[in-house]
Amino acid sequence: MYTGIGASAGIGIGSAVIVKEPSLAYDNKAVSDVDAEKKRLAEALDKCIAKTQAMADDMKERVGEKEAEILEGHVLLLMDPEMTGQMETSIADDKMCAEAAVEKICDYYMQMFSSIDDEMFQQRATDVCDIKTRLLKILLDVEDVDLANVPEGTVLVAEDLTPSMTAGINPKNVTGILTEVGGKTSHSAILARALEIPAIPGITEKISNGDKVVLDGSEGQTYINPDEKLQAEYEQKRVAYLEEKAALAQFVGKETKTADGVKVELCANIGKPEDALKVVECDGEGIGLFRTEFLFMDRPQIPTEEEQFAAYKKVAETLEGKPVIIRTLDVGGDKEIPYLALEKEENPFLGFRAIRLCLKREDLYRPQLKALLRASAYGDIRIMVPMVTCLDELRAVKNMIAELKEELKAEGVAYDENIKVGIMIETPAASLMADVFAKEADFFSIGTNDLTGYTMAVDRGNAEVAYLYSAYNPAVLRSIERVIKAGRAEGIMVGMCGEAAADPLLAPLLISFGMNEFSVSATSILATRKGISLWTKEEADAVAAKAM
Ligand code: PEP
Ligand code: MG
């Protein structure tokens, strides 16, 4: 078994077909007739634009508007007078043939884009590479690899699947895609997900043409020539996956509401800006928790205000005006960041962490709050404070935000004057004071992961006491009930972003208590929408009364 990252979920079982791009070698001689060469280039550009537009139209019809946008972006690039002008200049001044001019200018843009450490620019580099290949093929009269007619039950294996190659795929025949390059957010991964074909990047070298391949795009696992028992096991998994998917498909694009029409909001939790796209793809109604600590991890120093601003803005823009709750830095305890050089503590879970740390380290906190305020001009960003235990902490954060707003105003920088500031309810102190907090916080989000641990006085890592770590425990349920009711009594939104929000058994209780936002992992969105739809308010009330 080979493990990679699952770029597109689902189980694929089939025979490997290795796709090799044809050679695009050409004779690199100086041209004598510059005008004729310019004409060749112009004709190739026209052909390429027409072809790409046709692929985009086909994609729009077969897959969707959003996916077609990638190819429409290619059309715009091909019409960019700056880029095509540089190609013409290379022919005129350097006597290059059209192929060499295309290659030189595309390589220049690819290099420029890929040197910028931003995913969007990296993707732009891939787009230019795809365009270069398409233009060279037209100039050299080389046929495209025909992916539309591969036999049924094909697992495509390729160095990379460019958006134009992926656009030609017939999902009826292709059961899986394995590429050497491309991450979870590459265009080919996005297209594979849109075509609902399981895909895994990073595993191709061990595979030969005709090999039997089983891939699990949800887990990122690939088996080459597995025995019959494993094949049968995965065949069953495949059927179960498809059945579950079909059952949930009816909830795509639907409102999240109970059987008798009580509406709630269904959002998702993310850790990285890139994850926001998945939330949109999975039909989330917003982001209920963006754990910003991931921006601070796996790097040598604090991300700058500028870097943070770019990350928050990206999420806000991806969500196109839907709510985005961004939690300020929650480190300490089990979340370590080496460069902060925090001292080892006897009881890290009860120590110097989250908001306690941020209020002492304004060098850390102010840039984050300022970045959040600046990004709030680009969407519905809300600020959430973690690990709150007393009112002074919330007030201190709000004061700091008020000061930063003044700073921004003086600098003439846009921000949302009415940005909401809410708190995580994940400590017994916050729960017991929920009625008081509800008067000063704009919203609550219940963090059952920590609230369960702190309420039950249980260390999650200790197997001896793990039986106590459950949100079903009456003490935790009472805490949840009082928080929801206290928040609703003051008319503020009360959500839940701990794992318990995705538990279908808890749904009737949360509905009965009046919770109005559920935030779950992107992959749990549809199942949670279904879970909520199964209950009427009356039935939920009856279950809650009995449980409590
Ligand atoms: C929680 O405690 O429930 C929560 C959502 O926060 P985290 O899991 O990041 O601690
Ligand atoms: Mg927590």
For the chain, what is the mean pLDDT? 92
The reply to whether ligand 1 has any atom less than 6 angstroms from the CB of 470 is: no
204-263: per-residue pLDDT in tens? 778 899 999 999 998 889 999 999 999 999 999 999 999 988 889 999 999 999 999 999
Q: Which among 74, 97, 106, 187 is annotated as catalytic?
A: 187
Substitution candidate for ligand 1 out of 330, 331, 450, 480 with most atoms within 8 A of CB:
450
Residue 457's pLDDT is what?
Answer: 96
Among the ranges 54-63, 176-185, 413-422, which has the highest mean pLDDT value? 413-422
325-334: per-residue pLDDT in tens? 999 999 877 6
SS3 108: helix
Name, in order, each residue with C-beta under 8 angstroms of 101's C-beta and a sequence gap of 6 or more.
41, 87, 88, 90, 91, 94
Does residue 35 carry a pLDDT above 70? Answer: yes
146-156: per-residue pLDDT in tens? 788 899 999 99
Nearest atom within ligand 1 for CA of residue 449: 3
The reply to whether ligand 1 has any atom less than 6 angstroms from the CB of 426 is: yes
Residue 17, beta-bridge partner list: 156
Name, in order, each residue with C-beta under 8 angstroms of 219's C-beta and a sequence gap of 6 or more.
3, 6
456-503: per-residue pLDDT in tens? 999 876 788 889 999 999 999 999 999 999 999 999 999 999 999 999
Q: CA nearest 4: which of 213, 149, 166?
A: 213
Nearest atom within ligand 1 for CA of residue 499: 3
**What is the distance between the alpha carbons of residues 487 and 441, in angstroms, rounded to a whole number?**
9
Dihedral Cα 296, 298, 299, 300, nearest 10 deg: 100
Substitution candidate for ligand 1 out of 449, 503, 506 with most atoms within 8 A of CB:
449
Among the ranges 46-55, 217-226, 426-435, which has the highest mean pLDDT value? 426-435
Average of per-residue pLDDT across 302-308: 96
Q: Structure pTM?
A: 0.71
* Per-position DSSP letters for 226-282, written without gaps between them: --HHHHHHHHHHHHHHHHHHHHHHTTTT---B-TT--B-EEEEEESSTTHHHHHHHT
Does residue 203 carry a pLDDT above 80? Answer: no
Residue 419's pLDDT is what?
Answer: 98
Residue 63's pLDDT is what?
Answer: 77
Residue 384, beta-bridge partner list: 327, 422
How sure is the predictor about 70, in pLDDT bands with cuts at 50, 70 and 90?
confident
Q: Whose CA is nearest to atom 1 of ligand 1?
A: 447
SS3 215: strand
**What is the distance between the alpha carbons of residues 322 and 266, in angstroms, rounded to a whole number?**
11
Name, in order, each residue with C-beta under 8 angstroms of 46's C-beta and a sequence gap of 6 or more.
none
User: Which tokens belong to 412?
Assistant: 């003439």
Residue 183's pLDDT is what?
Answer: 67
Mark whether 187 is an active-site residue: yes
Substitution candidate for ligand 1 out of 275, 325, 424, 519 with most atoms within 8 A of CB:
424
Nearest atom within ligand 1 for CA of residue 450: 2
Point out the least confidently predicted range of 159-173, 199-213, 273-287. Answer: 159-173
Residues with CB under 5 A from ligand 2 (ion): 426, 447, 450
